[in-house]
Amino acid sequence: DAGITQSPRHKVTETGTPVTLRCHQTENHRYMYWYRQDPGHGLRLIHYSYGVKDTDKGEVSDGYSVSRSKTEDFLLTLESATSSQTSVYFCAISEQGANTEAFFGQGTRLTVV
Amino acid sequence: GQNIDQPTEMTATEGAIVQINCTYQTSGFNGLFWYQQHAGEAPTFLSYNVLDGLEEKGRFSSFLSRSKGYSYLLLKELQMKDSASYLCGGGSTLGRLYFGRGTQLTVWP
């Protein structure tokens, strides 16, 4: 199994609070991705990274920011959580971006109350 | 992302063959991925097509037509454990990886 872990696995937070989700990999893969998955919407790309300090927006980036200060960690921050951000968040890693297989973490279930 | 379309739900019986279709906007895509996702679990890789044609891998095969923006996943000799969501995804030269909404396949005994 690819070495990718997400933390926390579950979190309940209040509206308006900041939240940071962490994705950690031990594979030294260049590309890292953050997705959210909601019923009826499949996987939607939030942000992705193509190297240390290199990030770009995806389809649903509003309300989210990311940082990648080292190869192994990709952080997703909800600046001020809203109920619409209640979702399951998946991190993925890939050696060559969209040309190779991506490996997914186990997901983080976030509930904003 | 990139207008990836696939049916929402499909059903089939054990032992049968099922084909899950996927259409996508052709511009900017390198190739097509298929992933399997069981309820409550992470997606896992099934196949990647970058050239036109059929790629066979055991009971699963995947087809791509780049000019038509069309792909399908063919599952043979269906088993109960094949009940899952199947995600069609495409990657761009910029490294973005998009997915469709997924097709929920239910296999009945």
The mean of the pLDDT values for chain B is 93
A39-62 pLDDT, tens digit per residue, is 888 899 999 999 999 999 999 999
Q: Which of B36, B49, B98 best tests the A interface by mutation, with the highest count of A CBs <10 A?
A: B98
Contact between A3 and A69 (Cβ < 8 Å): no
Band of residue A90 on the pLDDT scale cut at 50, 70, 90: very high
The reply to whether residue B91 touches residue A99, judged by beta carbons under 8 angstroms, is: yes
B3-55 pLDDT, tens digit per residue, is 899 999 999 999 999 999 999 986 777 789 999 999 999 999 999 999 999 99
**Residue B27: CB partners within 8 Å, gap ≥ 6?**
none
Judging by DSSP bridges, how do beta strands B9-13 and B103-108 pair with one another? parallel
The mean of the pLDDT values for chain A is 95
Band of residue A1 on the pLDDT scale cut at 50, 70, 90: low
Band of residue A37 on the pLDDT scale cut at 50, 70, 90: very high
Which residue from A45, A105, A107 is facing B97, i.e. has the nearest CB? A45
CA distances from B25 to A96, B30, B67, B81 (A): 22, 11, 10, 31
Whether residue B94 lies within 8 A of chain A, CB to CB, comes out as yes
User: How many angstroms separate the CA atoms of B26 and B67, rounded?
Assistant: 7
Tell me if residue A73 falls in helix, strand or coil.
strand
Chain A residues with CB under 8 Å of B33 CB are 101-102
CA distances from B67 to A36, B24, B52, B64 (A): 30, 11, 9, 9
CA of A80 to nearest chain B CA: how many angstroms apart?
25
Copy the structure tokens of residue B29: 């895509």
Whether residue A74 lies within 8 A of chain B, CB to CB, comes out as no
The reply to whether residue A107 touches residue B42, judged by beta carbons under 8 angstroms, is: yes
Average pLDDT over residues A86-101: 91
Phi, psi angles (nearest 5°) of residue A83: -60, -30
The reply to whether residue B97 touches residue A101, judged by beta carbons under 8 angstroms, is: no
Band of residue A31 on the pLDDT scale cut at 50, 70, 90: very high
At residue B26, the pLDDT reads: 65
